[in-house]
Structure 1
Amino acid sequence: MPGGLALDTILPSEIKERLSRGEQLTIIDVREDEEVAAGTIPGAKHIPLGQLPERHTEIPQAEEVILVCRSGNRSGRALGYLESLGYKGLKNMTGGMLEWED
């Protein structure tokens, strides 16, 4: 992306590095069940995008929360939705699980 990444994004490599240092991260995976069955980021909590309206209260409101999907598209939508509810500290993992696996 020209001009650097937006403040509300995080790279898969950055997450891997922080996890390898033993950091406890709050990661929400908004993919569907069958996608998550193929593998997730260790410690990620699974809340499918369509369940966010009922389950958003399971997500901490005032700390860093990393949103993950397959490509970064749905997690971007999740970020917008949660921000509209007043959530702070949200980050979208750019490239999604497609980049995580590489």
Structure 2
Amino acid sequence: MRNIVVALVALCLLTGTFFIGTATGAGIEDIERITPRELMRKLDRGEQVLIIDVRSSGAYAASTVRLPGDVRIAPDEIIGRVGEIPMGAEIVTYCT
């Protein structure tokens, strides 16, 4: 299960896209991309979503944009911090 989460986060880093993935059995064909507006609708409905900011350290430092409630996990910290991601969580990763 944790390997799937790592794979999803790594995929975002490789493609530079904004997406959401399923926590079980996810493969590339299972990844659902959502827009910022769709994410806001989920949050407005009270859905539990873990938002992970995976921007590079330079991009993060240069930006004033932060999403409320997001978790910052730098690309070089992903493997070491995978234990912080709740099992079965709906995860949205974003980067620029």
TM-score per shorter chain, which class? Answer: 0.5 to 0.7
Q: Structure 1's 40 and 7: CA in aligned 2 closer, same or farther, altered over 3 A?
A: farther
1:17 and 2:38 correspond: no
SS in 2 for 1:56: helix
Q: Equivalent residue of 2:52, what SS? A: strand
Q: State whether structure 2 residue 87 is matched by structure 1 residue 66.
A: no
Structure 1 spans left out of the alignment, 5+ residues: 1-5, 71-102
Aligned match of 1:35: 59
Q: CA deviation at 1:34?
A: 4.2
Residue correspondences, number: 65
Q: Percent of counterpart pairs with the same letter?
A: 35
- Give the TM-score taking structure 1 as reference length: 0.52
Output one character per residue of 1:11-68: Cα deviation in whole Å (capped at 9) or x when no partner.
2110122223444421111113443342121111000111101111111121211111
Structure-1 separation of matches of 2:92 and 2:70: 9
2:83 counterpart of 1:57: yes
Cα distance change on mapping 1:48 and 1:18 into 2, 3 Å = same
Task: Name the SS of the counterpart of 1:67 in structure 2.
Answer: strand
Q: Give the structure-2-normalised TM-score.
A: 0.55
Name which structure has the greater RCO, CA cutoff 8 Å, separation 6+. Answer: 2
> Where does the alignment leave 5 or more consecutive residues of structure 2 unmatched?
1-28
Q: Whole-Å Cα distance in 2 between the matches of residues 15 and 42 of structure 1? A: 12
How far apart, in 2, do the equivalents of 1:18 and 1:7 lie? 19
Note the aligned Cα RMSD (angstroms): 2.0
Taking the aligned partners of 2:48 and 2:59, their CA distance within structure 1 comes to 23
